[in-house]
Amino acid sequence: MSQDTIKQMPHSDRPVPARWQRTLGGVISCAGIGLHSGVHTTMTLHPAGADVGIRFLRTDQGEDDAWIDARLACVSSTQRGTMLRNANGVTLMTVEHVLAALAGMGVDNARIEIDNEEVPAMDGSAVPFIAMIEKAGVVRQDVPRRYIHITAPVRVQRQNAWAQFEPADHTALDVSIVYDDAVVGRQNIQLALGPAAFKKKIAPARTYAFAHEIEALRRQGLAKGGAEDNCIIIEKDGIRNAGGLRLKDECVRHKALDCIGDLSLAGARFIGRYRSFCAGHALNIAALEALMQDPRAFAMVVMDEAGKLTCV
C-alpha cells in the first residue's frame, strides 16, 4: 500500500465517508412486478463477504451460468433503465433503484437472488428497498472500503446534455433537468451524499413518465408494468396520480436516485462531485466509462484510522 496521503478528513458538517465495508445483517425478500416487463418477480437480498460487491443471481436460469455482477462491464442497455447481461447472455432489467438503495444506505456487499428478468418496481422509488435493508440490518466488515477519489474533471456531452465528475472533498451530486412542459420545467438538486441525506431527500422520489410517451414505450415493449402505483404520470396540465407528487421537485430527485444506482456500477463509491444536466442512464454510464478510461482523473484510496485517504 502506498503511504501517499492525498487528502484530509472531510469537513465536519458533511457526511464522513465510512472506513469499513458493510453488508446486510440478514436475509429479506420482496415481490412485485417489473416496470417494463410487467413480470412478477421475487427478489431476496442476502449478506455477502467483503470485496464481493453486489452480485445478482437469476435463480430461474440455473446456478452455474446465471450470476450477474453489478459492474460497468455488464451494462447491456440504458434504454429507460439500466440492464445488465453476463457473459452467458443472462440479463436483468431495471437494476438502478435497488442498487441506489444499497449504495445510498452504505451496503457494499450483497448477493441478490431474483427469479425473473426484472427487479420489482415496488412503488417506483427506493423506499421499499430501504425498508428491506433496515429490516435486515447493515453490519460492518473488517475490510476497508475502497473509494474512487476524483482528482481531475472528466466530462461527456451529447447535444445539450452533459455529465461531469470533478474533484471535491466529499461525495456530492448536482443534478439538473429541463423539460419544455410547465409541469416539470427546470429543476436542480445539490446535496452531499450520506445515508441520512439519501434516505430523506432522494429515496422517496418515484420514477416518472410523460403520458404522451407511454403508448410509444409500450410499442417498444417497455413500460408494460408501469401504472400510477409505481410511476408518476405527467400530463400536459398536471400529475395524473391521485395523490399528486411526494415532493415538488420529485422528478429531479429521482434523476439523482438513478445517478446513485448507475454510478454504483463502478464497484466502489466515489469521493468527488458528479454534476449532470438533462442526463439519463446512457450519459451516466458514458461518464463512468470516460472516468474509468482516464487514470489521471482518479485514484483508488482507502481511509486510515486518522480519516486520511491513502492511495492503494
Residues identified as active-site: 281
297: left (phi over 0), alpha (psi -120 to 50) or beta: alpha
8 A C-beta contact, residue 146 and residue 302: yes
Helix H or strand E segment including 134:
helix 127-136
Q: For residues 136 and 148, what is the distance between their CA atoms, to the nearest angstrom?
A: 27
Which H or E element spans position 133? Answer: helix 127-136
Taking CB under 5 A as the binding criterion, the range among 108-116, 132-140, 204-212, 304-312 that sits at the site for Zn ion is 204-212
Q: How far is the CB of 205 from Zn ion (least distance, A)?
A: 9
Task: Report how many residues bind Zn ion under the rule CB under 5 A.
Answer: 2
Nearer to Zn ion, 93 or 168 (CB): 93
Q: Give the whole-angstrom CA distance, residue 267 versus residue 195.
A: 18
If the CB atoms of residues 249 and 258 are measured against Zn ion, the closer one turns out to be 258
Identify residue 195 by its one-letter amino acid code: P
Q: Which residue, 88 or 187, is less far from Zn ion as judged by CB?
A: 187
Nearer to Zn ion, 118 or 258 (CB): 258
Residue of 41, 86, 207, 276 interacting with Zn ion (CB under 5 A): 207
Residue 21 or 207 having the CB closest to Zn ion: 207
Other CB atoms within 10 A of residue 200 CB: 10
Residue with cell 464481493: 52
Nearest 5°: CA angle at 139, between 199 and 253? 15
* Site string (16-55) toward Zn ion, x via CB under 5 A: ----------------------------------------
- Write down the least CB distance from residue 241 to Zn ion, Å: 16
In angstroms, give the least distance from the CB of 224 to Zn ion. Answer: 16
Can you point out the beta strands (E) in 78-197?
Answer: 83-85, 91-92, 110-114, 138-144, 147-150, 154-158, 161-166, 171-178, 186-192
Candidates 41-49, 129-137, 148-156, 254-262: pick the segment binding Zn ion (CB under 5 A): 254-262
Q: Which residue type does 236 have?
A: K
Rule CB under 5 A: say whether 258 interacts with Zn ion. Answer: yes
Of 69-77, 189-197, 228-236, 251-259: span binding Zn ion (CB under 5 A)? 251-259
Using CB under 5 A as the binding rule, the residues of this chain from 106 to 165 that contact Zn ion are: none
The CB-of-91 to Zn ion minimum distance in angstroms stands at 18
Task: Quote the least distance from Cβ 193 to Zn ion, whole Å.
Answer: 17
Q: How far is 264 from 270, CA to CA, in rounded Å?
A: 9
> Minimal CA–CA distance to 25: which of 137, 141, 143, 140?
137
Among 22-30, 142-150, 202-210, 274-282, which window interacts with Zn ion (CB under 5 A)?
A: 202-210
Q: What residue ranges bind Zn ion (CB under 5 A)?
A: 207, 258
